[in-house]
Amino acid sequence: MTTGDAVMGTDVLRAQGLTGAGIRIGVISDGVDGIGSSQTSGDLDRVWVLSDEHGGGEGTAMLEIIHDVAPQAELYFHDNGGNASDFNRAIDNLVAAGCTVIVDDITWLNQPFFEKGEIADHLENLLTTHRLVYVTSAGNYGDAHYQGSVKINSRGYQDFSGTGSAHPYLYAYVPSGGALSVYMQWDEPFGSAKGDFDILIFDSRTGLPLARSVRQYEYQSDPCEKLVWINGGVSRDVAIAVCPNGGTGGARTLELFTHLTAGKMWPDNIVAFDGIWGHQAVPDVITVAAVNASTPDTIESYSSRGPVTYLFPNRTVIQKPDISAPDCVEVTGSGRFVSSFSGTSAAAPHIAALCALIWSAHPDRSPAEIRSALYSSAVDLGTPGRDNVYGWGRANGPTMNALLAGSAIPGPAAVATRSPFEKFYPKGAPTSGSIGGLIVRQDASIPVPDSPYPLPTAYPRKPPTKPYTRWYPGDRWAS
DSSP state of 230: E
Q: What's the gap between Cα 13 and its chain centre?
A: 29
30 is an interface residue for Ca ion by CB under 5 A: no
171-179, 201-209, 210-218, 375-383 -> range binding Ca ion (CB under 5 A): 375-383
How far apart CA 412 and CA 399 sit, in angstroms, is 16
Q: Which is nearer to Ca ion, 126 or 285 (CB)?
A: 285
Asked whether 190 and 422 are in contact (CB, 8 A), the reply is no
The CA-atom distances, in angstroms, between 433 and each of 22, 214, 436 are 54, 10, 10
**Bridge partner residues of 77 (DSSP):** 27, 49
Kindly state the smallest distance separating residue 381's Cβ from Ca ion, in Å.
Answer: 5
75-83, 174-182, 311-319, 373-381 -> range binding Ca ion (CB under 5 A): 373-381
297 is an interface residue for Ca ion by CB under 5 A: no
The CA-atom distances, in angstroms, between 34 and each of 44, 58, 337 are 11, 10, 9
Asked whether 320 and 273 are in contact (CB, 8 A), the reply is no
Range 142-161, binding Ca ion (CB under 5 A): 147
Smallest CA-to-CA distance from 387 within 479, 278, 379 is with 379
Q: Which is nearer to Ca ion, 147 or 469 (CB)?
A: 147
Contacts with Ca ion: how many residues (CB under 5 A)?
A: 5
380 is an interface residue for Ca ion by CB under 5 A: yes
From residue 31 to residue 50, what is the string marking binding to Ca ion with x (rule CB under 5 A)? --------------------
Asked whether 80 and 345 are in contact (CB, 8 A), the reply is no
Q: Which is nearer to Ca ion, 225 or 387 (CB)?
A: 387
Kindly state the smallest distance separating residue 378's Cβ from Ca ion, in Å.
Answer: 9
115 is an interface residue for Ca ion by CB under 5 A: no
The CA-atom distances, in angstroms, between 125 and each of 120, 154, 187, 311, 383 are 9, 47, 25, 21, 33
Q: Which of 64, 104, 274, 475 binds Ca ion (CB under 5 A)?
A: 274
Q: Which of 237, 387, 450, 475 binds Ca ion (CB under 5 A)?
A: 387
Q: Which is nearer to Ca ion, 380 or 422 (CB)?
A: 380
Asked whether 4 and 329 are in contact (CB, 8 A), the reply is yes
244-252, 273-281, 298-306, 433-441 -> range binding Ca ion (CB under 5 A): 273-281
382 is an interface residue for Ca ion by CB under 5 A: yes
**Bridge partner residues of 326 (DSSP):** 291
Q: Say if residue 301 is exposed, middle or buried (CB neighbours under 10 Å; 0-12, 13-18, 19+).
A: middle
Kindly state the smallest distance separating residue 379's Cβ from Ca ion, in Å.
Answer: 9
Binding site for Ca ion (CB under 5 A): 147, 274, 380, 382, 387
